[in-house]
Amino acid sequence: LKVISTMSVGFDHLALDEIKKRGIRVGYTPDVLTDATAELSVALLLSACRRLPEAAEQVRSGGWTTWKPLWMCGYGLSDSTVGIIGLGRIGQAIARRLKPFGVKKFLYTGSGPKPEGAAEFGAEFVPLTRLAEESDFVVVSCALTPATQGMCNKDFFSRMKKTSVFVNTSRGAVVNQEDLYNALAQGQIAAAGLDVTTPEPLPTDHPLLSLKNC
């Protein structure tokens, strides 16, 4: 075996140590999904914060009745604080798309400050705990590494606002799913939009799939 090519940006599914040992070359596809992932992140964020799946279901099931001014209102992006975990290519592409919605402040965290990337959005580099506490929206777009595995856990969700929306388009294993389920079920956070899970696909009887706010 001389070459392994993967049609993905991530390569955490490859046994890199063994591959290097055998002198095998690896090809992957950075950049090809940057725009698509950024657009999907915004779509998930808007769907979750404006409760679109819930509202559509209510229309279908007859739950939409008389005028209720605050029914299904959700939360807006205007004057909000958005926290981005991983301000790489995709993180920046997400911020670029969210900025015109009137976001007041961008926070980000990662392995270190990225002043050049952050300058466009006036984004501030902060510790993970502060990002959780101050953000109205948290978007995860970091790589899966030993340092990021299970990073969004009980402690993280307990620091978030009750009105916060959590979006993950990175890797499922960055999130402790049991802790996320509990945070959503107990109203510790408002909603979540997930592109990635552990495992993929989720079993149809998985507890997360029983939640209206996920």
SS3 103: coil
Q: Is the pLDDT of residue 56 over 90?
A: yes
Strand order of the β-sheet with 191-194 is: 124-125, 105-109, 81-85, 137-140, 165-168, 191-194
Residue 170 DSSP symbol: S
Condensed to tens digits (0 to 9), the pLDDT of residues 32-49 reads: 889 999 999 999 999 999
What distance in Å separates the CA atoms of residue 5 and residue 180, rounded to the nearest whole number? 33
Q: How many CB atoms lie within 10 A of CB 157?
A: 24
Mean residue pLDDT across the chain: 95
* Bridge partners, 125 (sequence order): 108
Note the pLDDT of residue 31.
83
Q: Give the pairing type, strands 81-85 and 137-140.
A: parallel
Q: Is the pLDDT of residue 132 over 90?
A: yes
Note the pLDDT of residue 8.
86
- Work out the burial of residue 64: count CB atoms within 10 Å of its CB; fewer than 13 is exposed, 13-18 middle, 19 or more buried: middle
Q: Which CATH architecture has domain 33-210?
A: 3-Layer(aba) Sandwich (3.40)
Mean pLDDT of 47-75: 94
Condensed to tens digits (0 to 9), the pLDDT of residues 100-111 reads: 999 999 999 999
Condensed to tens digits (0 to 9), the pLDDT of residues 2-29 reads: 999 999 888 888 999 999 999 999 999 9
Domain ranges across the chain: 1-30, 33-210
Note the pLDDT of residue 32.
85
